[in-house]
Each structure stands twice: as structure tokens, then as C-alpha cells.
Amino acid sequence: MAILPILQYPDERLHKVAKKVDQINETIRKLVRDMAETMYSAPGIGLAATQVDQHIQLIVIDVSEMHDDLKVFINPVLVHSQGEKENEEGCLSVPGIYENVTRAERITVRALDEHGEPFTLEAEGLLAVCIQHEMDHLQGRVFVEHLSHLKQTRIRAKLKKQRRETF
């Protein structure tokens, strides 16, 4: 397994739309393992393949406290959403930035697991937020793009300053 580099906003590659996974093979399963290791070490609760510069429809999520409930979503489709709720979100591609975003409160998603088995999952709370957040990545959208242009400009400036101070 390997820890993969995570693209940082506003990297243009984060805006690429992910392609469907045609075949679930050992290469995909290895990417799932590498993404999980990357997510856990970051530490985070979700990671989309787009964030590690792999532009395919693949997401890993684990919102459990013990980090022992990895969920894999390949070619996920949101089939139902209900309600609205504002939640604070952060992102491994936008380190140190947390903002409120409004998303559906409850969702139903259909996807394939890492073995190619189809499943449907109903989710609410943190899991629902995380699934929607990661599915945005597959569409080339970062959570800060739900915010006003003024907030986006401020976030870009803050991240630029953080990078200067790091080097």
C-alpha cells in the first residue's frame, strides 16, 4: 500500500469530471487500498479518486470513530435526497479551511463495491454529508465552490499564504 499525494485547491485537476469505472480489477482494488491508507493517514473521513489525480468514479469513506468501517463507492449515483441541513465541512484538498455548506439531510445512493457487487445505501447525518461532498469531487467541484465568490477569494488567499509560510 502507498500514501498518495493529495491535490490542493485551487489545482485545476480538481475540476476534472471523473469517468465511470468500466472494469473492477486488481488495479482498482489496489487504488482503493492506497486511497484508504491515504485518507486514514491524512487524517480524513472521505477521499475521492479525483483528489489523488485519478479521474475515475471511486470514493472511499469511513466516518466511524474507530476507523474500522471503510465504505467503497464505485460509480455512485444519488437516487434520492430529502430535506436540507447546513453542516460545517472541511476537505483534505483545502487544508485548514472549514465552512458551512447546505446539503440534503437524507440520501439514497446506488453504487458498486470493490468486488463489483451493486448495493443501495440510505444515509443521513455525517455519512450523507460525506457522500455528497465526495460525489461533488467526481463532478469536478470542491466544497468551497458552494460558497460566495468573496469567501472563495479569501480562502484562495489564505491557502496561498499558508503555502508560502510552509516553504
* Domains, the chain, ordered by start: 12-166 (3.90.45.10)
CA 74 to each of CA 23, 105, 114, 118: distance values in angstroms, whole numbers, following the listed order: 10, 22, 7, 9
- Name the DSSP letter for residue 125: H
* Residue corresponding to grid cell 477521499: 47
Helix (H) or strand (E) holding 132: helix 125-138
Q: Tens of pLDDT along 111-158?
A: 999 999 999 999 999 999 999 999 999 999 999 999 999 999 999 888
Instruction: Report the C-alpha gap between 12 and 14 in whole angstroms.
Output: 5
Considering the entire predicted model, what is its pTM? Answer: 0.95
Kindly report, residue by residue over 9-57, the tens digit of the pLDDT. Answer: 999 999 999 999 999 999 999 999 999 999 999 999 999 999 999 999 9
Three-class secondary structure of residue 23 per DSSP: coil
**What residues are labeled active site?**
134
